[in-house]
Amino acid sequence: MIRRFIAVALLLVATGCAEDEDEGGSLLLGDDAGTRREGSAQDAARPPAPGADAARPSAPRPDRGAPPPPGDRDAGPPPVEPDAWFPPPVEGDAGGPPPTPDAGPTEPDAAPPLPPDPGLNAGWIGGPCAADADCDYAEAFCLREDEGYPRGTCSLGCERTCPDRGDLPVTFCIGDLIVGSGACVQRCDFEAFEQGCRPGYHCETQPRFGEPDTRRAVCLPGPPPPDPAMGCYDQMDAAGLNYNPAANPQESPDGRPDLTCDIVGPTRLSSPINGVLYRYVTHDAPQPMFVSCDLALALHQLSAMLREYDIVEVGHIGTYNCRLIGGTDSLSMHGLARAIDLKWFRTADGRVYDVEDHWEHDTENFRTDEARLLFEIGQQMFARRIFNIVLTPNYNAAHDNHFHVDLTPGQRFIGSEDAWTRYFGPNPHGD
């Protein structure tokens, strides 16, 4: 993981206001992550300056709300019912639960110490602090450790947007941290921090203050909530995959705030995957891919199959994309990170089999070995149940340069309506 070491001088860069729609954030979702935005003028609608140090005008500190609700993960074990059953007493026994050996007083398990804070955004929103004076920007305040924020975190009141500074992690305005206003926090940044956040914080998707339909993954205190895909992560561990759990962006497709791209087991999966490299076609080297956990396992199976053909590298054109299936009101499997588009395959001796260059629509009378191998790869991906849907250039013009493969639940399609063409599909949703 490439880590940036931000010089102290960067912290003195002029503060600017984030773009309204936060489109340039640094939540890295695979190979098409956005670039950082240059700041503009700071949002003028702020609550009174909360700092009390001599360098800034004296003003009342904002009332803190409770730290973000931890949910069921902190509820602890359920209480024992009063009439809980115990075995019947034996002769000479007074009844009740069996005695336990006297092991002396026990201390509650202490939380493990946090790793050192890298201090990459010290003095800025989301960075560590012990007091307001540690946050070196106007109207700053510190959400302190005694208020539930490990090592403290610098914040700022906000009505809708938050400022960004230079190349530091970008920010987002959320509610429920201070009374009567939004508060600026750091958005998850997997380039700056391996887990997206400083030690002691986790990625969690939150709505923008006053705009519940706009959601971003931000850094909140405490451990992450239990993931429903934990069993899947166990399988990835057993397979030896190189991955990091990622934040669930929970975005909505353009113009459809009623739909949410909710990823089960969001994962940043690194190459090689079972001995095969996966590279976005415009990149010079493999980058981590943002996928669901089950797609990660499918790619592990795919790699095992491809190695039978001496394939060592795959060129792809995307995994996650929060969008609808064309012409429908249904989320694409790309919107759930359960699909990948495969363009070319390279063997150990350097031969490249490119869907765009080598696919032949007549899949009975092949003119080239490349076309025959591509057709066989498509057949094998379906026959071995690696993917539920396999679409090739014979499906429609939108797939002229790639195989679309996905894990649509309850679907199995690799057939043809025309015996001569034998194209893969149809996908009833038109993806």
The pLDDT assigned to 139 comes to: 94
pLDDT tens column, 266-300: 999 999 999 999 999 999 999 999 999 999 999 99
pLDDT tens column, 410-430: 887 764 333 333 444 333 334
Rounded average pLDDT over 27-42: 34
Domains and CATH numbers, the chain: 8-67+120-221 (no CATH), 230-406 (3.30.1380)
Q: How many of the other CB atoms lie within 10 Å of CB of 87?
A: 10
The amino acid that residue 87 corresponds to is: P
pLDDT tens column, 256-268: 888 999 999 999 9
**Residue 90 pLDDT exceeds 50:** no
Q: Are 374 and 358 in contact (CB under 8 A)?
A: yes
Instruction: Write out the two tokens for 207.
Output: 């709505």
**Residue 239 pLDDT exceeds 60:** yes
Q: pTM to 2 decimals?
A: 0.56
Alpha-carbon gap, residue 157 to 178, rounded angstroms:
8
Residues in CB range of 54: below 8 A, 6 or more apart: none
Of 134, 121, 235, give the one whose Cα is nearest residue 188: 121
Alpha-carbon gap, residue 195 to 172, rounded angstroms:
18
Task: Please state whether 86 falls in left (phi above 0), alpha (psi between -120 and 50) or beta.
Answer: beta
The pLDDT assigned to 11 comes to: 34
Alpha-carbon gap, residue 249 to 256, rounded angstroms:
15
Exposed, middle or buried: residue 220 (CB in 10 Å: 0-12, 13-18, 19+)? buried
- Largest Cα separation within the chain, whole Å, is 91
